[in-house]
Amino acid sequence: MRTTRRRFLENMTWMAAFAARNAHGRYPGGVSGKLLDTSALARFVDPLPIPASAKPSGLRPSPVDPKLQIPYYRMAIRQFQTTVHRDVPSTTFWGYDSSCPGPTIGARSGNPLLVEWVNELPHQHIFPIDHTLHGAEADKPEVRTVVHVHGGRTGPESDGYPEDWFVPGQSATSYYPNGQEAAALFYHDHAMGITRLNAVAGLMGLYVIRDEFEDGLNLPKGAYEIPLVIFDRSFQPDGQIHYPVSGKTGAPWVSEYYGSAILVNGKIFPYLEVEPRKYRLRLLNGSNGSFYQLSFSTDPSVTSTGLAFHQVGSEQGFLAAPAQMNLLILGPGERADVILDFSRQSGKEIYLRTNVAVIMQFRVSAKKAADSSTLPAMLRPVPRIQESTAVITRELTIADYQNRLGRSNVMLLNGAHWNMPVTERPMLNSTEIWSFINLTDDSHPIHLHLVRFQLLDRRPFDLAVYQLTKKIVLTGPAVELPAGDLGWKDTVRVDPMTITRIIVKFEGFAGKYVWHCHMLEHEDNEMMRPYIITESCPGRVA
C-alpha cells in the first residue's frame, strides 16, 4: 500500500512540475511584452504537411569499398520562408532542402548511403549568439553547422562531432552504414555552442531505417504511416520566431526554451483527414526543452482520459510486443512508434493533445475503409542485457552550478566541463552500466551517440544526504517503467532526485563520440561531454 502510494506521489510531483512549467511557458530570461497569442489562432485550418522523401541525386563509390556504388544525397541547408498557420505572416526558418522538418531520409538496414550536407545559410544568424559559451566565442564564425544522425550507428568521422562544424559555402559528406535495426532516427544540427539556436531555426528531419523484419510485420504503411514531428515555438506578431534572451549584456543564453505554440510537422493546430482504419504514427519530440504527455481523444479538452492506442516502438526500434496505453510521455529527442486505430471513430474528430493543450485534429472519414494491416501480438524480441555482463558501473551526476559572476547556471555532467580530459572511455564491445544521479529539480533527457541501450531502473534517493555525504541513500523502490521504456533506447529521461541506470553495449565503432543532455540550452552550456570508445585497454582517468 505505502509503496504504491509513494510511487504515485512521486510520479505526480514530477508530472505536476513539468505540467505547470509547460502551461505557463516559463521563460527564464523574462519575456518581451509583445508576442503572438498563438492560443487565439483559428484551430484546424491548415492541413498537416507530410515531409517530403529525400531523393538521392545519384550513386557514388563507397568510401569503405570503392567498387561499391551507393546512393548519394545532396542536402542543401538554407534559409527560407514558410507559414506556420493560415493567419500568421510568413516566418523565416532554416531548413534542410528549405523545409522544416527536412525531407525524410529513407534507408534500408545494411545498405549504406552518403549525404553531402551543404551549408548555404546566410552569414548572419537569426538569433543572438552568446559568445561566453564554450565553442561560440566571438572569434568563431556566427553561422556554423554540423549534422548528426541521432540514433545512427555511424563512424566517428561522420557522426557530426560538435567541433566539426563548417561555414556557409562549405559542405561535409557523411557516410552512413545503416548497420542497425529498423527505427526512426532523426538528423539535426549539432554545432558547438549554438545547437539550440540552429535547432530553433528549424534544422531537423527524420531518418527512417527499415528492414526485412519490419516488412514481415504488416503494419500500416504508405499513406497510413504518418510522421509527427512535434516542437514548440513562440512567435512575434510579425510572424518571426521568438527566442528569449537573458537580459544580461553580452550573455543572452537562457536555461530553457518553451514556446507558446506546439507545431506538428511545422504547423500550428493542423488537421489530417484519415480513414476509419489503423494508422502508424512515428512521433518525434523535436523540441529544445519541452516534455510532452501525449494522448488522443474525441474530446479536445484536456481533462478526459485518452483513447487507447498501442506503442510498438521506442527510439531504437520495436518493442517486444505492442503495449496498450492512453498516455505517452516524450522528452526532447525521444521517439515513439504508435498504432492508432480509427476504425470505431468513423465520422468523428480525434484530437492529439498534451496535458495542457490540444495540438492537432484527425478528421475520420465516414466512408468504410479497407484495412489489411495487422497489429501483431508479438514484435521483435528485446533480449534483456544482464547486469552481470557489465564490466563497470559509472556513477555520473547531473547538476547545475552557479558561477562566480552570478550568471545563470552552468550545467555539468559529472562535474566536468566539455574541454576537460575525457573520463568515459569504454572498451569496444564491452558492456557498462551508467548510473545518472540527478541533483537538479528538472528532468534531463540524456542521449549517448552511437549506441542503443536499455533502461534498468529509476530509483528515488535522498538528495540532502547525498549533498552532505556523497552517499546514495535510496528512499523507495524503483519506479515502475512504462512499456516504452523497456525497448531499445538512445535517449532517456532522467528525473529529478532520481537515479536512472542504463546498460549499454558499446558496439559498432571505436573513436570519439559525445553524450549529453538533449535539452539543447543545457547541451550548449556544458551539459555535454566527449567519450571515447577504445579498442585496447579500458583507459581509466584518475
Verify binding: residue 519, Cu ion, rule CB under 5 A: yes
| 521/261 Cα distance (integer angstroms) | 18
- Residue found by looking up cell 504518418 in the block: 226
Query: In this structure, what DSSP letter does residue 308 have?
Result: P
Candidate residues 148, 233, 444, 452; the one interacting with ligand C2O per rule CB under 6 A: 148
Q: Which positions ≥6 away from 101 have C-beta within 8 Å?
A: 51, 95, 204, 205, 206, 227, 229, 265, 266, 286
Say how far apart CA 118 and CA 133 lie, in whole Å: 25
Tell me which of 380, 447, 458, 501 binds ligand C2O, using CB under 6 A. 447
Enumerate helices (H) and strands (E) in the chain, giving the number of each. Answer: 5, 32
Q: Tell me, by CB under 6 A, how many residues bind ligand C2O.
A: 10
Cell numbers given for 97: 532542402
SS3 content of the chain, % helix, strand, coil (to 5): 10, 40, 50
Q: By C-beta, is 267 or 522 nearer to Cu ion?
A: 522
Rounded Cα distance between 353 and 358, Å, is 4
Which cell is 501 given? 541506470
150 binds, among ligand C2O, Cu ion, none (CB under 5 to 8 A by kind): ligand C2O
Q: Based on the shown chain and the rule CB under 6 A, indicate whether residue 333 belongs to the binding site for ligand C2O.
A: yes
519 binds, among ligand C2O, Cu ion, none (CB under 5 to 8 A by kind): Cu ion
Report d(CA 219, CA 341) in Å as an integer: 12
CB of 517 to Cu ion, least distance (A): 3
CB 92 within 8 A of CB 240: yes
528 binds Cu ion (CB under 5 A): no
Closer by beta carbon to ligand C2O, 268 or else 517: 517
Q: How far is the CB of 450 from ligand C2O (least distance, A)?
A: 10
Q: Is residue 444 a contact residue for Cu ion (CB under 5 A)? A: yes
Tell me whether residue 406 is exposed, middle or buried, using C-beta atoms within 10 angstroms of its C-beta: 0 to 12, 13 to 18, 19 or more.
exposed
Alpha carbons within 13 angstroms on the beta-carbon side of residue 331 total 21
CB of 123 vs ligand C2O, minimal distance in Å: 25
What sign does the dihedral 31-34-36-37 (CA atoms) show? Answer: positive
CB of 494 to Cu ion, least distance (A): 8
Smallest distance, Å, CB 489 to ligand C2O?
13
Q: How many residues bind Cu ion (CB under 5 A)?
A: 4
Q: By C-beta, is 274 or 463 nearer to Cu ion?
A: 463
Check binding of 449 to Cu ion (CB under 5 A): no
Asked whether position 188 contacts ligand C2O by CB under 6 A, the answer is yes
Tell whether residue 446 is a contact of Cu ion (CB under 5 A): no
One of 60, 78, 150, 153 touching ligand C2O (CB under 6 A): 150
516: contact with Cu ion by CB under 5 A: no
Question: Given the complex with ligand C2O, which of 150 and 310 has the nearer CB atom?
Answer: 150
N-to-C CA span, the chain:
45
- Asked whether the beta carbons of 18 and 172 are under 8 A apart, the reply is no
517 binding Cu ion? (CB under 5 A): yes
Residue nearest to ligand C2O (CB): 150
- Nearest approach, Cβ of 187 to ligand C2O (angstroms)? 9
Which of residues 444, 449, 458, 489 is near ligand C2O by CB under 6 A? 449
Specify the residue, 103 or 332, whose C-beta has the smaller distance to ligand C2O. Answer: 332
Dihedral sign (CA 494, 500, 504, 510)? positive
Closest to 505 in 3D by CA, of 533, 540, 539, 541: 533
The reply to whether 153 sits near ligand C2O by the rule CB under 6 A is no
Q: Which does 190 bind (CB under 5 to 8 A by kind): Cu ion, ligand C2O, none?
A: ligand C2O
Centre a 10 Å sphere on the Cβ of residue 19 and count the other Cβ atoms it contains: 17
Write down the least CB distance from residue 256 to Cu ion, Å: 9
CA distance 201 to 129: 13
Binding site for ligand C2O (CB under 6 A): 148, 150, 188, 190, 333, 447, 449, 514, 516, 518
Residues binding Cu ion (CB under 5 A): 444, 517, 519, 522
